[in-house]
Amino acid sequence: MKRLTPDQIRQVYYHGPDPVIERLEAQVTELERPVNRTSCNSSQTPSSDGLKNPPTA
């Protein structure tokens, strides 16, 4: 996600908290996506999971 310029930030805040919250939620979702990916829920190989314990169901 691209960084906002100061003018864009002012414009978002001018429209109230809802657009700010929506943008932050979208950023969090985008940042969490690769963190939550493992070989169990993607096409990655098990060795790409690293040394973490496998998830328990």
Say what the pLDDT of residue 17 is. 83
First to last CA, the chain: 33
Please list the pLDDT of the chain residue by residue as tens digits (57 residues): 678 789 988 887 888 888 878 888 988 888 887 766 666 766 767 766 666 666 665
Distance CA 33, CA 43 (A): 14
Phi, psi for 3 (deg, rounded to 5): -70, 145
Residue spans per domain, the chain:
1-33
What's the whole-model pTM score?
Answer: 0.45
Say what the pLDDT of residue 1 is. 60
**Would you tell me the crossing angle of helices 17-35 and 6-14 to the nearest 10 degrees?**
120
